[in-house]
Amino acid sequence: MDIYIIIGLVIIALAILGVGWLWITYNTLVKLKVRVEAAWSDVTIQLKRRADLIPNVVETVKGYASHERGVYEAVTEARASIMSASTPADAAKAEGQLEGALKSLFAVAEAYPDLKASTNFLQLQADLVDTEDKVMASRRFYNAGVRDFNTSIRMFPTSLIAGYLSFAPQEFFDVEDAASIANPPSIQF
């Protein structure tokens, strides 16, 4: 065989391998990005579910402790922040506010034995705890997807083309001020 034919076949084979690698890499990155987007959707669904439960909890507590207006306002503001969050960073900030506000609300509820015994309140509290568990699971799943995606676009040789294909790192969903939700708030009557 002529050397030019061999060189031509090698070049064609390398081109086919390169295109194949590009195709597989692109599809893998798309799959990982879609997984991250789906996971974020799951997080927002759980956050909305929790935000929808909160007015019921607030109204139930209000019936027993009408003089705790500041607590209700804090919960309402935190709920509004969760509902308007559009990025993981916004959601994380709102998450911290809501955690603190809910702790205050439940601290108020502790002072009213009739409220603590109310089946309606107990059911709302159980629903909220269940939703909190689902929010945590959704956050973990989202952050795992972000970790996998970000790792993939930073690894060689994928990192060589990820930027050109418009794949940018995604944000993790972390609570901004973990210290603010680590300790229960102090409530004085």
Spans of all domains in the chain: 3-182
Residue 180 has pLDDT above 70, yes or no: no
H helices of 65-118, in order, are 69-84, 88-110, 113-117
Architecture in CATH for domain 3-182: Up-down Bundle (1.20)
* Nearest alpha-carbon partner for 55 in 31, 35, 34, 76: 76
Distance (Å, rounded) from C-alpha 23 to C-alpha 55? 49
150 and 69 Cβ atoms separated by less than 8 Å: no
Kindly report, residue by residue over 149-176, the tens digit of the pLDDT.
999 999 999 998 998 889 999 999 876 6
Q: Mean pLDDT throughout 46-71?
A: 75
